[in-house]
Amino acid sequence: MISKHIKNLAPSGIRQFFDLVLGMPEVISLGVGEPDFVTPWRIRERAITALEEGMTSYTSNKGLFVLREAVSNFMEKRHSLKYNPEEEVLITVGVSEGLDLAIRSIISKGDKVIVISPHFVAYPALVEIAGGSVIYVPTTQENNFKIDIKKLKAALKTNPKAIILNNPSNPTGAAYDAKELYRIWEQIKSKDTIVISDEVYDELIYEGKTKSFPSLDEGARERTILLNGFSKAYAMTGFRLGYACANKQIIEAMTKIHSFAMMCAPIISQVAAVEALKAQKDVLEMRNEYKRRRNFIVKELNRLGMNMPMPEGAFYCFPSVKKFKISSLELAKRLLFEEKVALVPGTAFGKEYDSYVRISYANTLDNLREAIIRIERFLKKL
């Protein structure tokens, strides 16, 4: 019954693994990529009043104009980026839909797309669903999981239609600074390659500063599809809301697919998101808490011999388990069954990463402390 195309698509390594976790009591989950905070009250309250006001209709396909305007103002304030809210901003159902629309609107059958690994699980699957083929450019721990310019140069020789960048990165937490981004853009600039810049963790950076890719220069702005959303920094995963900013031609193409496939993002979420963009104090509080947790878990994992470069953003770390001579899947399964701690095997993010695991520190400090006790006990048995 199922199309060949979809039948051959590998399911997400994370989902497969977390089907195991479901229903297991007392598990400390360091696996899912989701904030442990509930959405800040002022945002929830706005969603409640929106319902009370009877806001239950469709919106325009591109999204409520007030939200597009708020996104445009936010981008200008945060990154000095100017996007016309009429033509250059599209409200999507999460960054997930933004990614799908971006890829489907520019990829024709057989087009190549560069994916830098370890990578967010959806990238290769969405490229394949769109009929494209993936050119992987793996990064290494020695290089702080940042792209090696020589490897990028070689990959660009295949004339890819697009490159997907994720800054800061899921799963490594690596964040590129302005200089590093310029170095990447230097290579791409002379080609026709379009940049899909997934910046969903942009507001969760703990050290230094980053730049939004399209803010590098006018050329980068013209050639980048910027994707961001509310799931992570605003703890709004269940609201399913994101946005895409790009030139008029690209936003029009994305809107075409969106209007047939989705019609529009939910109105209640859109109204809540306008409020969210004013809730910077709440974002700051959550960010400070993530930073405290990151400092704790990285120090402890290093003490246990699970070493890694310091993650600069997002809420993940990607430590090496090479020293323990066990595959990442075996380690994850045994740790789950023997000590009830769930983390994600590195291979979910690229086949080269069997000596790594992803740990999400979007969990309370108490749980992280207990998880470290359990991991230490487990490692001693190996």
Ligand X SMILES: Cc1ncc(COP(=O)(O)O)c(C=O)c1O
Positions that interact with ligand X (CB under 6 A): 33, 94-96, 120, 166, 170, 198, 200, 229, 231, 237, 242
Q: What is the residue whose two structure tokens read 């290093």?
A: 302
CB of 350 to ligand X, least distance (A): 14
Token duo for residue 345: 């095997």
CA dihedral over 326, 329, 332, 333, signed as positive or negative? negative
8-state DSSP, 9:
S
Measured from each CB, the residue nearest to ligand X is: 94
Q: CA-based angle 27:241:266, to the nearest 5?
A: 115
For residues 353 and 320, give the distance between their C-alpha atoms in angstroms, rounded to a whole number. Answer: 9
Three-class SS state of 125: helix
Cβ closer to ligand X: 212 or 231? 231
**Quick one: 95 or 357, whose CB is closer to ligand X?**
95
Residues 6+ away with beta carbon under 8 Å from 74: 277
Shortest gap between Cβ of 157 and ligand X (angstroms)?
A: 27
Our CB check for ligand X shows the closer of 83 and 239 to be 239
Nearest approach in angstroms of CB 182 to ligand X is 22
Smallest distance, Å, CB 101 to ligand X? 12
CB nearer ligand X, residue 262 or residue 304: 262
Do 235 and 286 form a contact (C-beta atoms < 8 A)? Answer: yes
CA angle 258, 48, 238 (to 5 degrees): 45
**Which residues make beta-bridge pairs with 134?**
113
CB of 97 to ligand X, least distance (A): 7
CA distance 298 to 124: 29
Minimum CB distance to ligand X smaller for 118 or for 229: 229
CB of 283 to ligand X, least distance (A): 15
Strand arrangement, sheet containing 357-360:
316-317, 357-360, 344-345
Compare residues 342 and 379 and give the one whose CB is closer to ligand X. 342
What's the min distance (Å) between Cβ of 201 and ligand X? 7
Which helix (H) or strand (E) covers residue 334, if one does? helix 328-339
CB of 324 to ligand X, least distance (A): 26
Amino acid at 356: Y
State how far the Cα of 344 lies from the Cα of 356, in Å rounded to an integer: 9
* Of residues 118 and 319, the one with the C-beta less far from ligand X: 118
Comparing CB distances to ligand X, the nearer of 132 and 229 is 229
